[in-house]
Structure 1
């Protein structure tokens, strides 16, 4: 369930990222960035935690997984997802906060970053690694450590 929410939220964030107006359309940009921050906070982050923590704990707590190469690959990709998730989450929330301040007149709109290729690329990498993680968990190839 956590993986479904995690990957679904990434897909929604990618759609909003591609449909977001430029920062020059300040109100629309702020609304889109606010929606992205809400998805990141209320869907992405809880799903991220529900997917990552129990998965790593299951690998640590199950002796049968300790000599399974697929479990170690899954643990390594889990750490990659953790780092990428944090890398994706902060800019989304920061840009939403800054755009709201610009709409309120407390910030110069010229300082807004706009949609970055790095944000979208990080989300695509997270989707790919998450897919690989699910495949490893279902397929469980015989890789000996």
Structure 2
């Protein structure tokens, strides 16, 4: 069970990072809204990436991480695990509120503009906050990966957290 959860957690993290990187690339390629067909196509692609890859990936990461914490008693008192949980929830919330929802909304708005239901002027919203949000959640996710690999030891009794979490060289399992 532990290896399955670790595999799912790693797979979800890879999917999340890949989707975030793809969104950054697509975002950088966005033309001015006056080039409506290309703008709408990229916005719809970004909405699809956010909905079909980004959101499911972060959900897999969060759920597999929570289950790993529940099933592995060594993680219950490991401070790095709780810090990772806090940052994981921040990444999840940031993804939902600042990335995924605005991407889907922008895709629907671009599709409506392409159909002639929305004026092109409504597509002129500033893209800076969206760009910044993508970078923030991506950096938080990278921090979480680093924290999971590095696994800092507590400053209590020497070796207690390390031994409880499996005793590996970096505080991880030895097997």
TM-score, normalisation: structure 1: 0.93
Displacement, 1:56?
A: 2.1
Cross-structure match for 1:32: 42
Q: Hey, what's the Cα distance between the residues in 2 that align with 1:86 and 1:26?
A: 26
Displacement, 1:8?
A: 0.6
Displacement, 1:2?
A: 0.8
Q: Hey, what's the Cα distance between the residues in 2 that align with 1:117 and 1:106?
A: 25
Displacement, 1:123?
A: 1.1
Find the partner of 2:56 among 46, 49, 73: 46
Runs of at least 5 residues in structure 1 that lack an aligned partner in the other structure: none
Computed over aligned residues only, the root mean square deviation of the Cα atoms, in angstroms, reads 1.5
Confirm or deny: 8 A CA contact 1:22 1:114 kept in the other structure. Answer: no
Q: Highest Rg: 1 or 2?
A: 2
Displacement, 1:128?
A: 1.0
How big is each residue's C-alpha offset from its partner over 1:95-130, in whole Å with a ceiling of 9 and x where there is no partner?
Answer: 110111111011111111445111111111111111
Displacement, 1:60?
A: 3.4
Matched, 1:2 2:2: no
Q: Which has the higher helix share?
A: 1
Find the partner of 1:70 among 76, 80, 94: 80
Give 4+ residue runs of structure 1 displaced > 4 Å after superposition.
none
Matched, 1:11 2:8: no
Find the partner of 2:102 among 91, 99, 103: 91
Does 1 or 2 have the higher relative contact order (CA < 8 Å, sep 6+)?
1
Confirm or deny: 8 A CA contact 1:33 1:95 kept in the other structure. Answer: yes
Cross-structure match for 2:122: 111
TM-aligned CA distance change 1:115 to 1:6, over 3 Å: farther
Which moves more between the two structures, 88-97 or 112-121?
Answer: 112-121
Cross-structure match for 2:173: none
Which moves more between the two structures, 26-35 or 58-67?
Answer: 58-67
